[in-house]
Amino acid sequence: MHIVLYKPDIPQNTAAIIRLGACLKLNIHLIEPCGFNLNDGRFKRVVMDYIGLSKILRHNSFEAFVKKFKKPRIVLMTTKAKKLYHEFKFKKDDMLLFGRESAGVPEEIHRMLKNKIKIPMNKKTRSLNVAMSVAIVAAEALRQNNLLK
């Protein structure tokens, strides 16, 4: 299972997702540029020694990422989706794409991807923290594929 972060801009969120990846054996992909340096103290404080237990792949651009991973299905998490994550049938090699905290993903990526899902939320709210969203969706994807062991 793969978690893809599109140009993440909050170091603490990325660090928490990398820790989650270490704990749940998820591959973490970072689409550059990140809005911070991986030597940032805020990042290091949250990621701790879990960075050494994580598989992190960095990609110079979304285009480079797509070119390298042509076969796996890319599933976009977006508040604009109609389909709910728990009604979606995940595959073991899915690439779960999460947009940047400040702006999501560009419209051209929305148009490019067929599979879009969301987490149901209170209508009075805008969005969940990206690290929480990753945890919720990754747990369901792992459960569906019997990978929680």
Q: Is residue 149 part of a domain?
A: no
* Residue span of the structural domain in which 38 resides: 2-144
The pLDDT of residue 84 is above 80: yes
Identify whether 127 is part of a domain. yes
Residue pair 130/101 in contact (Cβ under 8 Å)? The answer is yes
129 assigned to some structural domain:
yes
With b for 16 or more beta-carbon neighbours within 10 A and e for fewer, the 21-49 pattern comes to bbebebebbbbeebebebebeebeebbee
At 2-55, the pLDDT tens digits run 999 999 999 999 999 999 999 999 999 999 999 888 888 888 888 788 888 989
d(CA 100, CA 5): 7
Single out the residue of 94, 99, 128 nearest to residue 26, CA to CA.
Answer: 94
- Domain CATH for 57: 3.40.1280.10
How many angstroms separate the CA atoms of 143 and 137, rounded? 10
Nearest Cα neighbor of 26 from 48, 49, 57, 47 is 57
- Specify if 55 maps to a domain: yes
Q: Is residue 113 part of a domain?
A: yes
**What local confidence, expressed as pLDDT, does residue 73 receive?**
94
* Count of structural domains, the chain: 1
> How many whole angstroms separate alpha carbon 5 and alpha carbon 57?
10
In a domain, 100, yes or no: yes
Dihedral of alpha carbons 97, 98, 99, 100, sign = negative
DSSP 63: H
pLDDT of the residue at 134: 98
* Per-residue model confidence as pLDDT tens digits over 85-96: 999 999 999 999
In a domain, 25, yes or no: yes
Which residues, including other chains, have CB under 8 Å from residue 57's CB and lie 6 or more apart? 27, 28, 29, 30
Task: Determine the residue type at 88.
Answer: F
Q: What is the pLDDT of residues 133-149, one digit of tens each?
A: 999 999 999 999 999 87
What is the per-residue pLDDT for 40? 81
How far out from the chain centre does Cα 58 lie? 13
